[in-house]
Amino acid sequence: MKSTPPKGNTYYKGRAKNYEKRRLKQPWWHTEQQEMQSLLSNLPRDLTVLDVPFGTGRFVPYYVDFGYNISGLDASNEMIAAAQESLGALFQKCDCRTGDAANLPYPDGAFELVVSTRFLRDIVVFGMAKKMLAEMIRVSSRYAIIQLGNAIEGDRLPNDDEVWGGNMSKDSIDRLLAEYGVKVLGSGPIEFIS
């Protein structure tokens, strides 16, 4: 059994500085950027958004274009510093703080949109990912755009102490999301729920 502990602050300490530079070389990164831009373009303007984990704030230029009020949370101070460097003046438009996605420091329904990419599938174990998913849904009053991963073939519920990975089929993921009381509005590289 694969057991992967949360990587969090320790993992990103040394990597934060080069995080985006390295990712920009991945074609998949650009696919995700396009997918996010396209999903956001179908939503109302001027939403309040929480991006968790904020990472380098990769979607901030879109949030700004769409008139969003932007908040970001990440466990790593170094990633927030890397976001500041990467975003330049746009960083001033974001209310960023360090914190734990398993215990979001916001009231219920505080945001109209919650965004989470490159996180629940691989960075934390499944038991923790479910807790964090519940937190993301709790603080969203309307929409969530959350990147999960579904199996190309087969279907297996991960153990709570292994990463979610690409184990569950799309139907199983939809059933799991339904248990959280959300409706799936669209599925692609990134899951869109309400």
Ligand X SMILES: C[S@@+](CC[C@H](N)C(=O)[O-])C[C@H]1O[C@@H](n2cnc3c(N)ncnc32)[C@H](O)[C@@H]1O
Q: Which residues bind ligand X (CB under 6 A)?
A: 6-8, 12, 53, 55, 58, 74-76, 79, 100-102, 117-119, 123
Q: Which is nearer to ligand X, 66 or 172 (CB)?
A: 66
What are the backbone angles phi and psi of residue 5, rounded to the nearest 5°? -75, 160
Nearer to ligand X, 74 or 112 (CB): 74
Q: Count the alpha carbons within 13 Å of 183 in the hemisphere toward its beta carbon.
A: 5
Q: Which residue is nearest to ligand X (CB)?
A: 55
Closest CA to 113 of 37, 65, 43, 178: 43
Encode burial over 137-169: b for 16+ CB neighbours within 10 A, e otherwise. Answer: bbbbeebbbbbbbbeeeeeeebeeeebbebbbb
Smallest distance, Å, CB 134 to ligand X?
14
Q: Which of 44, 95, 54, 93 is nearest to 74 (CA)?
A: 54
Whole-number minimum distance, CB 178 to ligand X, in Å?
25
C-beta of 27 vs 154, nearer to ligand X? 27
Which residue, 161 or 172, is less far from ligand X as judged by CB?
Answer: 161
* Cβ 187 to ligand X shortest distance, Å: 18
Task: Report, in Å, the least distance between residue 153 CB and ligand X.
Answer: 25
- How far is it, in rounded angstroms, from Cα 44 to Cα 143? 11
Of 40 and 75, the one with the shorter C-beta distance to ligand X is 75
**Closest separation in Å from C-beta 54 to ligand X:** 7
* Separation between Cα atoms, residue 127 and residue 159, nearest integer Å: 7
R_g of the chain computed on alpha carbons: 16
